[in-house]
Structure 1
Amino acid sequence: MFGCLVAGRLVQTDAVQVAADKFVFNLPDYESVNHVVVFMLGTVPFPAGMGGAVYFSFPDPESGGQVWQLLGFIANDKPSAIFKISGLKAGQGAGSHHPFGTVAAAAPSVAQVGVSVEPLEQLAQQTPVSGAAATTADTLRLFTQKMLDSLYNFASSFAVTQAQMAPDPSETFVPSSCIVKWYDSFQRRMNQNPNFWKN
């Protein structure tokens, strides 16, 4: 019914059913995982009015137990979601209620992703742990900044002073200050409206 995907790894469809309405995926070497995608396989829809709360659990070295945190949910009209799990800490929402009881992890370096089938009304009232949502705007902003940094660094590697320039009628030169002005303008517009480039 569900799948779990981590970049650079095979898709997991081998969820362990721990109760009639609860499923768990094991995530080995979770410390190296930044984002996880949870999705419906498309073979079995949720019953009407139901969805799946998605939880993340990792070992707590202080208590020796597991810390469960609500990431968000999936539903028939939202069959997949990307969650950011890097940076989640034990103190962040650790005391929140979770429906999984004591599901033992396979090893200390193994985290778990759980899906609990619950009414949509209940899912809408739950608050996911802060920082778990991998928003498109943040991802796009980060990508754009990295791309602009790369462009500027690449173009700067070819910089020469006017005294060093050799006359070449087939070459056009652009002052680096022009790229810096464009870069600053683009970042300012991106911060105001991450989707401005779509217009």
Structure 2
Amino acid sequence: MFGCLVAGRLLQTNLQQIDDTHAIFELPNASSINHICVFLLGTIPFPDGYGATVHLHWPGKGFQLLGMLSNDKPSAIFRLRSSFSSSTTTRAFEASSTSMLSDSSSETAAVLGIAIEPLAQILPQIQSLPTQGSISINPTAVARPPLDPTLFAERIVRHLFNYISGFASSSDLGPDVTIPMGIIAKWYEVFLSKVKNSGTAFLERDAE
């Protein structure tokens, strides 16, 4: 349901379920983390009237509230370097934090916590945060419904086909044509570079 991306690292979907409403991501090498993006994968929406608060356990500083996610705001970016005080500022993970952190964290690891809560309880918590604590990824895109995974996969395949087509004439693209693995590997490098630099908007442009 959730994914997270630390700037400069690979996408994480290795969510660990704590109970029905709490889950965590482990974030190694906490000292090198500057920004983190948290988002809904688009496969399962929140129930009506619910969203999630996002928290971070920084080594030695307890769990602290970063912001929120909802069906209307399925993604957010948080800047971490200057956003932590010396004491815990959230109670969402107090009950399970002791047992959870004893196994999953260390002096160099942070823990990202996600707590599903009613929006009526979330909004007062968010209003108490500094306005610079959370940055929406793309205000115009937030209101869009989640992209159909089938459509998204189709756009990726179309991008691959168009890339390969540039290395062969139309007569070479029959059903039995052999594609060198080097071309596929090169496409993969180009594709990942575009995603890291500008997100997936280029796939939408290619589909127009």
Give the TM-score normalised by structure 1. Answer: 0.60
Taking the aligned partners of 2:66 and 2:9, their CA distance within structure 1 comes to 21
Shift of 1:8: 1.3
- What is the aligned partner in structure 1 of residue 113 from structure 2? 114
- The answer on whether the counterparts of 2:75 and 2:136 sit within 8 Å (CA) in structure 1 is no
Q: Percent identity?
A: 38
- The answer on whether the counterparts of 2:76 and 2:136 sit within 8 Å (CA) in structure 1 is no
Taking the aligned partners of 1:14 and 1:59, their CA distance within structure 2 comes to 20
Taking the aligned partners of 2:59 and 2:136, their CA distance within structure 1 comes to 26
The one-character-per-residue Cα deviations of 1:91-112 (angstroms, maximum 9, x if unpaired) are 2x62442335322143210001
Q: Is 1:83 aligned to 2:78, yes or no?
A: yes
Taking the aligned partners of 1:135 and 1:47, their CA distance within structure 2 comes to 21
Q: Which has the larger radius of gyration?
A: 1
The one-character-per-residue Cα deviations of 1:4-26 (angstroms, maximum 9, x if unpaired) are 00111111001100111111001
Secondary structure in 2 matching 1:121: helix
- What is the aligned partner in structure 1 of residue 67 from structure 2? 72
Secondary structure in 1 matching 2:14: coil
- The answer on whether the counterparts of 2:2 and 2:15 sit within 8 Å (CA) in structure 1 is yes
Q: Which letter maps to 1:114?
A: G
Taking the aligned partners of 1:100 and 1:41, their CA distance within structure 2 comes to 26
- What is the aligned partner in structure 1 of residue 159 from structure 2? none
- The answer on whether the counterparts of 2:49 and 2:118 sit within 8 Å (CA) in structure 1 is yes
- What is the aligned partner in structure 2 of residue 40 from structure 1? 40
Secondary structure in 1 matching 2:57: strand
Moved over 6 A (4+): none
Shift of 1:86: 1.1
Q: Report which stretch shifted further, 23-32 or 122-131.
A: 122-131
Taking the aligned partners of 2:121 and 2:70, their CA distance within structure 1 comes to 12
- What is the aligned partner in structure 1 of residue 24 from structure 2? 24
Taking the aligned partners of 1:33 and 1:118, their CA distance within structure 2 comes to 27
- What is the aligned partner in structure 1 of residue 180 from structure 2? none
Q: Which letter maps to 1:45?
A: P
The one-character-per-residue Cα deviations of 1:111-161 (angstroms, maximum 9, x if unpaired) are 01111000011111114543522478xxxxxxxxxxxxxxxxxxxxxxxxx
> Number of paired residues?
130
Higher helix share: 2
Taking the aligned partners of 1:97 and 1:52, their CA distance within structure 2 comes to 14
Alignment of 1:140-155 (within 5 A): none
Q: Which letter maps to 1:124?
A: L
- What is the aligned partner in structure 1 of residue 58 from structure 2? 58
* Structure 1 residues 95 and 123: alpha-carbon distance in aligned structure 2, compared to 1, 3 A threshold: closer
CA RMSD of aligned residues (A): 1.9
- The answer on whether the counterparts of 1:67 and 1:94 sit within 8 Å (CA) in structure 2 is yes
